Amino acid sequence: MQRMENDPLKPRIVESDDGSHTLRVDALNEHYHSHKGAVQESNYVFLKMGLELFKEREHIRILEVGFGTGLNALLTALSANGPSVHYVTLETYPLEMDLVRQLNYPAIIARDQAETFFEAMHNAAWNEPVAIHDRFTLEKRATALQDLPTIDPVDLVYYDAFAPHAQPELWEPVIWTSLIERMNPKGVLVTYCAKGQVRRDMQAAGFEVERLEGPPGKREMLRATKP
Ligand SMILES: C[S@@+](CC[C@H](N)C(=O)[O-])C[C@H]1O[C@@H](n2cnc3c(N)ncnc32)[C@H](O)[C@@H]1O
């Protein structure tokens, strides 16, 4: 989508407390990540509390809601010794490459291949699987979660939508009933959000929900498991 220079919906880069960039959308009063530390939050909420549970598995399928900057995908592709990953990620407002190239994730993460994988992920074609390396396949879908057709069931969901105050439709009870149907038994959903209503709605959809300590600067987060 082409947006005007001073469009309040146009994301702009800001630095979070750990030195890594995040994006801010003024009109939504919302950041793409925690302003207390973007890389720190992604590593903690999605990798430590989610991906690590599957470290003994050979292969897993992940569904991410909100590709955005690609930070969660990049950290997952760089995580060593875990399962091979098929990563389906949804996005309704792809970022412009000019903006993506200014993000400091490869420099901050400072790992071999970070730059190459990051570039490859953002250049990857939409709506088809693309191998980023031999153990990580990325499938970017240019679709809203609400319009996602049937996909092969997933083991892990990175639920990284904008917060309920900014996008309430992505936190409605129907979201959790549709997601639980898309997951394998013992599948896990992790999100930075810890709202009581969200937790109760997840439980009503059939998930077993844990309230976990949050990343630095956030008291709690949620982890929901399909029985
Ligand atoms: C909080 S940001 C997080 C993005 C990303 N995980 C990252 O690390 O940058 C939420 C993302 O969800 C996208 N989004 C908005 N509505 C959506 C929808 N209905 N379905 C899927 N993604 C959506 C936004 O465009 C935005 O990129």
30 CA closest ligand 1 atom index: 1
- For helices 173-181 and 196-205, the axis angle rounded to 10 degrees is 40
In the chain, the percentage of residues whose pLDDT exceeds 90 is 93
The band of 9, judged by pLDDT with boundaries at 50, 70 and 90, is: confident
Q: What CA–CA distance (Å, rounded) separates 104 from 15?
A: 9
- pLDDT (0 to 100) of residue 4: 53
DSSP string, 182-211: TEEEEEEEEES---HHHHHHHHHHT-EEEE
pLDDT at 2 over 60: no
> Which amino acid belongs to residue 101?
R
> Which amino acid belongs to residue 34?
S
The band of 6, judged by pLDDT with boundaries at 50, 70 and 90, is: low
- What the block records as the tokens of 22 is 């995040």
Q: What CA–CA distance (Å, rounded) separates 30 from 131?
A: 32
pLDDT at 185 over 90: yes
Question: Which of 90, 109, 156 to mutate to test ligand 1, by most ligand atoms within 8 A of the CB atom?
Answer: 90
The rounded Å distance from CA 144 to ligand 1 centre is 9
Q: What residues contact residue 101 under an 8 Å CB cut-off, 6+ apart? A: none
The rounded Å distance from CA 141 to ligand 1 centre is 12
72 CA closest ligand 1 atom index: 8
Query: Please, which residues bridge with residue 61 across strands?
Result: 86
Q: Identify the helix (H) or strand (E) that includes residue 84.
A: strand 84-90
Question: Which of 91, 109, 148 to mutate to test ligand 1, by most ligand atoms within 8 A of the CB atom?
Answer: 91
Q: Identify the helix (H) or strand (E) that includes residue 86.
A: strand 84-90
Q: Identify the helix (H) or strand (E) that includes residue 180.
A: helix 173-181
End-to-end, the C-alpha distance of the chain in Å comes to: 40
Q: How far is CA 148 from the centre of its chain?
A: 16
What is this structure's pTM? Answer: 0.97
- Kindly list the distances between the CA atom of residue 162 and the CA atoms of 45, 78, 131, 168, 188, in Å, as whole numbers in the listed order: 15, 24, 28, 9, 19
In the chain, the percentage of residues whose pLDDT exceeds 70 is 97
Q: In the chain, what are the domains?
A: 36-225 (3.40.50.150)
pLDDT in tens, 190-204: 999 999 999 999 999
Q: What residue has token string 């979070």?
A: 16
Higher pLDDT, 5 or 17: 17
> Which amino acid belongs to residue 128?
E
- pLDDT (0 to 100) of residue 1: 47
